Amino acid sequence: MNFHIVIESLQKIVLDIVHFIPNLVNGLIILFVGYIVAMIVRWIVKLVLRYTRFDPLIERTGITGAMRGLGVKMPLSIILAQTVFALLLISFFITATRLMGLLAVSQLLERVLAFLPSLIAALIVFLLGGMVSQFAGNLVTSVAIAAGLSYAKRLGNIIQYMISLFVVILALGVLGIDTALLVTVVTIVIASFGLAFGLALGLGARSVVHHILAGYYLRQRFSAGQTIELNQVSGALRGVGSVNTVATTAEGTVVFPNGILLESLVRSPRALDTDPATSETS
């Protein structure tokens, strides 16, 4: 056994450790100083945002409420302060690892730091897109409820989910991920759904659509509690639904398809006493 080679190897290891200790100490000092600086800057950012009443201002714009709707409960000022803290800490960590001679670690952190702007931009796109999708879904739901549609909530959710899907694709594109295949798949799925829906309307759901559209106009003409007469049937109107209208008569409940009410001569004796112009519709 060649002890000379073993001794030289041990000497090299000891020398490497001795040479690494000063670099390690310098790196730890830089990391400690960087942590202190990042904490001070974070405190200053929080203080400035607090005195400028940043959170109440954002609250009035509706952004905070939209963030809560997306599940983000942390105030925006805290998010900004933590982001600044993390960026500064990563920068000092890169410098510390370079002083320690850990080039692989520093290069990895540099790539992470270079990727952060794209990540932040994608998060902003996702946040704003989520707000838009939530607003559009609520708007469609409100309009559908005003129109008396029983499936208003489901319709609003469908619109919100579709917009959210495109927002996710856009955010992935901002991250630099190739979304061409995903866009193609989503386009094919939506086109297939649209084609199936169009065929359903054209072949089997024409009468249903006719009653739904008729209900929209009937709700503008009649109100709950109003007395109507149709084909010798007289009753108090309980409400106009999506495809039919329910009235209460002396014999019980009568259901009229909306399309028949729209296309027939309907008398309203109670309305005749106040407004002759609404006595009949066709």
> What's the pLDDT at 212?
75
Phi and psi dihedrals of 226, rounded to 5?
-75, 140
> What's the pLDDT at 43?
92
Tell the CATH topology of 209-281. SH3 type barrels. (2.30.30)
How many residues appear in the chain? 282
> What's the pLDDT at 16?
65
State which residues of the chain have pLDDT below 50: 271-282
Q: What is the DSSP letter of 66?
A: H
Q: Give dist(CA 258, CA 147) in Å, integer.
A: 14
> What's the pLDDT at 271?
46
> What's the pLDDT at 134?
79
Say what the pTM is: 0.52
> Within a 10 A sphere around the Cβ of 67, how many other Cβ atoms?
19
Give how far Cα 55 sits from Cα of 62, 132, 159, Å: 11, 21, 30
